[in-house]
Amino acid sequence: MLKYFVKRVLGIIPTLLCVLLFLFGLIYLLPGDPASIMLGPRATPAMVDALNKSLGLDQPVYVRLGHYLWGILHGNLGESVWSKHTVASLIMSALPNTIVLTLASMGLAALFGITLGVLAAIHGKTLIDHLVTVLSLIAVSIPDFVAACLLLLIFAVRLKLFPVLGGGEPGNLGDQIRHLVLPVIALSMGWLGYIARLVRDTTLEVLDMDYIKVIRSFGAPMSYIAYKYALKNAIIPVVATIGLGVGKLLGGAVFVELIFNRPGIGKVITDAVFARDLPVVQGGVLIAAFLFILANLVADLSYAYFDPRIRYE
């Protein structure tokens, strides 16, 4: 296990380096002069020069690359072009919101997905099974931004059950939770359907195994078997897809944060994209990519922990 762990952790280093290089190279992909593009058509030459200087664009490439990497090593992601906040502080103030949103959605999706999946498998080929299958198919098919719009329209605007926009008052936990409900449902729906489907198929396979048949022939009740034996096996593929899921949810969080006007890293990045605030885009994407790589690493490691065969490949 230790060997596998070291191998996987070392394996992400080249990827991380390439991500950094790509983000550094981003500024060269911009058609035209980066500073004047960021400042827009009304910028004076003096403003462009000043921005060039503060971004270090007047220096040779290798010096800038050195500064860039040095800065990142020290947690310095640069400064926003517009607000003069540091990028790190902008991201740090937004990140907890996104993490809460993502984790809550993941938890909701896992809880209901696994329950529904096991339920469907136990009641194989009955109404419950068909219902779960159809519902999970529908849930998977609804893109999260469409789900967010519909939930907002139905539950916030029409029925007025939940607040429409924002992340809730800071410090007021109840208010924040009320603001979290609809975004979490919108974000978790697709993943919930996916997990339910996955768990149903795995559980059906497990329930077909000889050892389960033996336990059943001893007269153990189905609910006991499902909880005690089937569930443990059914969870493995869910764990394996958590890395994928975090990526999907982080991505979906961009839309959900935008539609519900919630503070979060997705909103920071999209706002920066529209404001052409390149340092913020670079920093935000770096953190998002880093989280994504980290989640995949954790998922891989936990998969290897549950399934020893992986370690010896």
Partner 1 sequence: MTQEKVLSELSHRWDSFRRKSQQRVKKIAQIIRVISREPRGLIGASIIGIILACAIFAPLIAPFDPNEQDIANRFSAPTSQHLLGTDYVGRDILSRLIYGARAAAIVSICSVGIAVIVGVPLGAVAAYNGGAVDYIVILIFDVIRSFPSVIMILVLAAIFGPSLLNIILILSFTSFPAYGRVARAQTLGVKEEECIMAAKSLGATTGRILLSHITPNILSPIIVLAGMDLAVMIMWESALSFLGLGLQPPAASWGIMLKQGYTYIETAPLMIIWPAIVLITTMLGCSLFAEALRVALNPREREPNE
Q: Which residues contribute to the site for partner 1 (CB under 8 A)?
A: 14-15, 18-19, 22, 26, 29-31, 125, 137-138, 140-143, 145-146, 149-150, 152-153, 157-158, 247-248, 250-252, 254-255, 258-259, 269-270, 273-274, 276, 281, 284-285, 288-289, 292-293, 296
Minimum Å distance from CB 30 to partner 1?
Answer: 6
Q: Are 312 and 114 in contact (CB under 8 A)?
A: no
CA dihedral 52, 54, 55, 58 (to 10 degrees): 50
Minimum Å distance from CB 180 to partner 1?
Answer: 20
Residue closer to partner 1 by CB (options 63, 164) is 164
CB-side exposure of 83: number of CA atoms within 13 Å?
Answer: 15
List 86's β-bridge partners, or say none: 79
CA distance 253 to 308: 33
Residue closer to partner 1 by CB (options 46, 159) is 159
Minimum Å distance from CB 229 to partner 1?
Answer: 23
Residue closer to partner 1 by CB (options 143, 172) is 143
Residue closer to partner 1 by CB (options 218, 274) is 274
Triad 72, 77, 80: Cα angle to 5°: 170
Handedness of CA 129, 134, 137, 143 (dihedral sign): negative
Minimum Å distance from CB 252 to partner 1?
Answer: 7
CB atoms within 10 A of CB 14: 9
Minimum Å distance from CB 224 to partner 1?
Answer: 25
Residue closer to partner 1 by CB (options 225, 281) is 281
Q: Are 312 and 293 in contact (CB under 8 A)?
A: no
Minimum Å distance from CB 212 to partner 1?
Answer: 18
Cα Dmax for the chain: 85
Residue closer to partner 1 by CB (options 61, 157) is 157
Q: Which amino acid is at 78?
A: G
